[in-house]
Amino acid sequence: MFLRRNKKIKRDEAYEYWTLVESVRTIQGPRQRIVATLGKLPGMDKEERVGWEEIGRILDGKPKPQPDLFEKEDSIPKWATIDLKRVSVERLRHFGDVYLGLALWKKLGFDEFCKKHLPHGREDVAWSLMSAVLVLARFSAPSSESQIAQSWYAKTALDDLLGVSCDKINDDRLYRALDELLPFKDDLCRHLQDRYGKLFDTGFDFLLYDVTSTYFEGSVKFNPQAKRGYSRDGRPDCAQVCIGLVATPEGLPLAFEIFDGNRTDVTTMPEIVEMMESKYGKARRLWVMDRGMVSEENLETLRKRKTHYLVGTSKAMLKRYEKEIADEGWQKVRSDVEVKLLHSPEGSEETFILCRSHGRKEKEMAILNRFSGKLEAGLINLSRQAQKGKLKKEIIDRRIGRLLERYSPAASLFDITVTSEEKKIIILFKKNDRYAWVCQASGSYLLRTNWKEKDPAVLWKTYIQLTEVEEAFRITKTELGLRPMYHQKQDRVNSHILICFLALSMWRTLQQWMKTKGLGTAPKKLLEELKEIKSMDVILPARDKIFRLRLVANAPKELKVLLYRLGLPLPNKPRIMENVVETLGG
């Protein structure tokens, strides 16, 4: 069987397709029979002509040049007698993941930005290339600068793709690249805003803002921002810094700021708004933030700046609308989510939106009932022990405190009294009215805004996009290895976070790129599959020469089609390494 390329002209337009053909014997003689019509295989015609010399053009996004009038002969002989016993494979390198990362680096224009802004001097390797190495390593396989220099870089095909040999990559040069890149943090953020607009036609009228923290290993004596505070990583024993991230509704990161580790979320908001307005103008943007950023002072600041906001509110404010929660008139915006627009207080320009999620209600009630049951069982067991008269009141109080701390979600549901008699008795009283309110309010939350939009469904959908920022934090901490940090100096810490921010912008750009091409939104899966694509040198001993051919392994058909739709075909033509072709006599 063999594949046959077919060409058909219909209405003056040429169509190409492939058929699977087999030769069969018949009474009339040998005949060819079509087994299947495969249609046009994506990129099949291009794939036959993609070689290593095409990589630079593909990564730069340049059109394919017109062929020369007289084609040059391929330097690889078509036929050679090979000693099969001596065939070997050498120099196995990771190719697919760094190839994709480099394409994203150039797609975002980071290569041109670094060439233009980073200083040029007597350095052996341009700082623009060293910056690319740092961010590509963070994007593909997060590791320390020492590990990049000692092992990671040599295991990749970046020496072919960047033209920088492995002996030029050392940890001292990588650390200096961090120092060279950091002063251009704000310029990079402005550059990203411009690139997002060109690539995805992204608007910046809506901005999402949230805060996370990341912790250190070590004492971090030389970083004044490293302090103990509320840890979102469950490491209150470690010093940390807080990071405020501004993103678009699509989750594309725009800017970030680093705060002291003991700063509360609500105190960071005015600083971020001031920063964004000073750098990007005072447009009437809509800021979307969760309830951790909300205080009356902050909202008054936004109103004075004539800035719109859409924010979550505290649970205490929800109590004011107990009647509205029980009433009808809900509008369904999703199968398990309902919303209701509430009347604003007199003289207020604000709108309140009551939201209710059935899935969230079931989850909250399951957690509450589990903690309530365990707390009640623990208190009853402690009461039985106390009645035996063997426990002092101080010990009973401490054990009650530990139980309330362990099962804190249900602590407000009980009144607990310890008698001062000889036999201590713990009297429990469950607050049924409190329990009834919690059951009614579970799954409900309240939003407030001074935006003129009056459709509660639109307001809810805009607010729920905050999950994009939360997802960005998760990606940065897990896939991109933001935590824990081992740098001790403030500038190095800031550089590390900047590198993670740039890698995050590449990750989210890939997600949007895939989405626009109809390829889903799972960059992690694509990256994992590409990590299996290796480049290698195949050694072919001939009669009078030893040929060393550098090639890239074939990708599965599905991955190959996906890469062609992204415009990133893998090179399938081997490249002869002329500098290492050896004669048998030598």
pLDDT digits (tens, 9 = 90+) for 276-333: 888 767 666 899 999 888 888 999 988 888 889 999 998 888 888 888 888 888 999 9
Higher pLDDT, 5 or 179: 179
Q: Tell me whether the omega of the peptide bond preceding residue 409 falls within 30 degrees of 0, making it cis.
A: no
Is residue 24 predicted with pLDDT exceeding 90?
no
| Residue 223, CA distances (Å) to 170, 178, 242, 257, 493 in order | 25, 17, 13, 16, 8
The answer to the question of residue 335 being in a domain is: no
Across 516-530, average pLDDT: 87
Structure tokens at 66: 């017109």
What integer best gives the mean pLDDT of the chain?
Answer: 85
The pLDDT tens digits for 40-51 are 544 444 444 577
Q: What is the pLDDT of residue 444?
A: 92
Verify that 192 and 108 share a domain, yes or no: yes
Q: What is the pLDDT of residue 58?
A: 77
Highest mean pLDDT of the ranges 56-70, 260-274, 494-508: 494-508
Verify that 60 and 146 share a domain, yes or no: no
Indicate the pLDDT class of residue 29, thresholds 50, 70 and 90.
Answer: low
User: Of 441, 476, 498, which residue sits at a domain end?
Assistant: 441
Verify that 9 and 35 share a domain, yes or no: yes
**Which residue range is the domain that position 473 belongs to?**
202-313+458-485
Q: What is the pLDDT of residue 419?
A: 76
Contact 277, 300 (CB under 8 A): no
Across 261-271, average pLDDT: 92
Measured CA to CA, the distance from residue 216 to residue 484 in angstroms comes to 5
The answer to the question of residue 320 being in a domain is: no
Q: For the chain, how many helices (H) and strands (E)?
A: 21, 19
Verify that 100 and 195 share a domain, yes or no: yes
Verify that 108 and 189 share a domain, yes or no: yes
Phi, psi of 67 (to 5 degrees): -70, 150
Verify that 512 and 560 share a domain, yes or no: no
Measured CA to CA, the distance from residue 575 to residue 578 in angstroms comes to 9
Verify that 218 and 281 share a domain, yes or no: yes
Verify that 137 and 167 share a domain, yes or no: yes
Low-confidence winner among 4-13, 380-389, 547-556 (lowest mean pLDDT): 4-13
The answer to the question of residue 321 being in a domain is: no
Indicate the pLDDT class of residue 578, thresholds 50, 70 and 90.
Answer: low
Verify that 370 and 435 share a domain, yes or no: yes
Q: Is the pTM of this model over 0.95?
A: no
Verify that 74 and 163 share a domain, yes or no: no
Phi, psi of 13 (to 5 degrees): -125, 130
The answer to the question of residue 337 being in a domain is: no
The answer to the question of residue 339 being in a domain is: no
User: Of 441, 467, 500, which residue sits at a domain end?
Assistant: 441
Indicate the pLDDT class of residue 71, thresholds 50, 70 and 90.
Answer: very low
Higher pLDDT, 284 or 578: 284
Place of tokens 């003056």: 12
Nearest Cα residue to 156 out of 140, 135, 172: 140
Considering its fold, how many domains does the chain have in total? 5
Verify that 113 and 196 share a domain, yes or no: yes
Is residue 496 predicted with pLDDT exceeding 80?
yes
The answer to the question of residue 450 being in a domain is: no
The helix/strand/coil state of 180 is helix
Verify that 478 and 524 share a domain, yes or no: no
Measured CA to CA, the distance from residue 312 to residue 47 in angstroms comes to 52
Q: What is the pLDDT of residue 1?
A: 46
Low-confidence winner among 156-160, 280-284, 536-540, 549-553 (lowest mean pLDDT): 280-284
Low-confidence winner among 33-42, 77-86, 351-360, 366-375 (lowest mean pLDDT): 33-42
The answer to the question of residue 385 being in a domain is: yes
Measured CA to CA, the distance from residue 423 to residue 389 in angstroms comes to 5
The answer to the question of residue 336 being in a domain is: no
Measured CA to CA, the distance from residue 530 to residue 510 in angstroms comes to 13
Supply the Cα-derived Rg of the chain in whole angstroms: 32
Q: What is the pLDDT of residue 44?
A: 44
In the chain, what percentage of residues exceed pLDDT 90? 49
Task: Read off the CATH number of the domain in which 273 is found.
Answer: 3.30.420.10
Q: What is the pLDDT of residue 69?
A: 40
